[in-house]
Amino acid sequence: MPIYEFRCQKCNTLFETLVSSTSPEEVACKQCGSKEVKKTISAASYRLSSSSSGSKIPAGALSGCSSRSGFS
């Protein structure tokens, strides 16, 4: 299941949650419990590192997800 970032339309809380593709309507705000939430666009979390050959390769995900790291 993918992790999506949502913003509550009632209390404006930004939060991340795992969402089943079969029932995305079950997402509720973690702060107030409202189901009036909107999916936001969040930034990808990875970095490029240089190898000895000078090429850029993905070095993997950075540590953890941050609910304050996305675009809104």
- For the chain, domain boundaries: 1-42
- The burial class, CB within 10 Å (0-12 / 13-18 / 19+), for 40 is middle
Can you name the residues that pair with 6 across neighbouring β-strands? Answer: 15, 39
Task: Kindly provide the residue ranges of all beta strands, DSSP E only, lying in 1-72, ordered along the sequence.
Answer: 3-8, 14-18, 37-39, 46-50, 56-61
Residues of the chain with pLDDT under 70: 22-24, 43-72
pLDDT tens digits for range 17-28: 888 776 667 899
pTM above 0.75, yes or no: no
| Coil vs helix vs strand at 62 | coil
1-42 placed in CATH 2.20.28: yes
